[in-house]
Amino acid sequence: MFGFLQVRRCGALGCVKLFDHAPEAILECGLTDALYDGLRDSDPIVITNCILALDHILQAEGGIVVNKNIAHYLLSRIMQFSECNAVYVLTILLRYSPKSEEELILLLNALDELLLSRAPAVLVAVVKLFLHWTQDHPHLKKDMLEMIQPSVCKILSRNVSETSCLLLDFLSTLGDICKVFGPHYKYFLVRAKDPGYLKTQKLKVLPLISTEDNVCCLMEEVKPFCSDYQSFRGAVSCMGLLAKVSHAAHNMCLSMLVTLLDAPAERVVIAALECLMNVVLSPPSVEKNISESPPDPVLSQSSSLGNVEVQNQTTLEESLSQLSLHTEEPKPELKALPMPQNELELPQNLTDAIIRALSHEHVQEAAPSLVLYVLGTLAPYLDSAPDILQHISSLAFSPSVHADLVTAAAQIFISRPAQTQLLLAAILARAFKCVGEPASRAALIYATLQEHPSDAAFLLGATVKQSLRSNNEECQEQQLGGSD
């Protein structure tokens, strides 16, 4: 009997070899029907081998056809399969979709025991199958997450790096998981002895399970890894995402950034500057959790912080065509600036740290576009912005970075015209002579915008304080009164 069992196991795989050498022999001998009959074998390995053979032989037709009878039969025997074979069978079952609500309930009931599995690969495979079958019933997702929560926490508590990383990577694709896994955040915390890849994966998942109740604890746990050479960038990015959960976390993040901006390593300072822009441009929302919030405005830009001129160029070119440069028609009333910076309340110690970080020569040389972006965006809050800009303008840059310099100079000019007027003129003059197209093109655009300062402020996206705007309006009213 033992030998007969081995013959059945090897016979199914032998059909694959025969098909590769003589495909017509499979049809002539009726081996396809024999393989389908093998799905009813008493041995799970024989069943798996028959599925493998059929999927290979019928590859031209889309692989093995899974009908209702096969699906129900395989699920009824799934607990007899080994972990590896069970994963393969569950993957094959993704090809089948229930035909009615009653059948769906029967199939989901058969998955209940699998959802409690402590094998990571099986758990991931069965969750994928569950989500595939319930894609028209999203309300069942929360029930599924509650069922797998004990198994997930048990797997993470084993401290096996490879399986933990696999499971965390899969959890990050499930969307809103904070309500189920938030109370169990301790299983997801980063440990000092974790390998680098696992630290990075945990730091990606922590914002997804953050709630107002645990976010401050998560911030404290993440803080030590902001200076870790393996995971400092992921830790700082994670801290920025956690800051959006609550106002307490937001303030805690700003206080941590003061320390990070004064770090001796420029790579940590650069990561802190990126985090700062994400935090200040995306204030926390109490109504929404981080997993439901829209993408970061800084991260969603075309080239992130790599080329600031490109970020504004399209809007500027489209809007320039609408400006009446040589007509006397009244200009349409401009909409309010959609800039959250007008409502910023940056602590003095933070602004001082920002100035020190931007003044660091190594930071300017390592990330010039980022420094220029921060300068232009936060110019109203940085008294030393013109001095820093003057120092940066003396450095040698590529044409694309030179375009960022032109953009930053124009933005700083809107906020601090008296201090930046001569510097802006010098930067524009040099940009016109620049060989690269981005710099000269940006200089042409911003030079044209100087004829319409109010339009320039709107199009540049610069922060103009209300006091400056009201003073300009008063001057215009006085000029109109004098002309009358």
HEC-encoded secondary structure of 77-121: CHHHCCHHHHHHHHHHHHHCCCCCHHHHHHHHHHHCCHHHCCCHH
Cα–Cα distance measured from residue 388 to residue 390, given in angstroms and rounded to the nearest whole number: 5
How high is the pLDDT of residue 158? 92
- Tokens 């990070």 sit on residue: 260
How high is the pLDDT of residue 2? 39
**Domains of the chain, residue spans:** 316-324+358-483
| Nearest alpha carbon to residue 86 among 132, 36, 123 | 123
pTM of the entire predicted model = 0.76
How high is the pLDDT of residue 82? 92
CA 193, 195, 198, 204 torsion-angle sign: positive
For residues 238 and 270, the answer to whether their CB atoms sit within 8 Å is no
Q: Per residue of the chain (484 residues), what is the pLDDT tens digit?
A: 334 788 888 888 888 888 888 888 877 787 888 888 889 988 999 999 999 999 988 888 888 989 999 999 999 999 999 999 999 999 999 999 999 999 999 999 999 999 999 999 999 999 999 999 999 999 999 999 999 999 999 999 998 999 999 999 999 999 899 999 999 999 999 999 999 999 999 999 999 999 999 999 999 999 999 988 888 999 999 999 999 999 999 999 999 999 999 999 899 999 999 999 988 887 675 444 444 444 443 433 333 333 434 444 444 444 434 433 333 333 333 333 334 444 577 889 999 999 999 999 899 989 999 999 999 999 889 989 999 999 988 887 777 787 888 888 888 888 888 888 888 878 777 777 766 566 656 666 666 555 555 555 555 554 444 434 444 454 455 444 544 4
| CA angle, 361 then 366 then 367, to 5° | 100
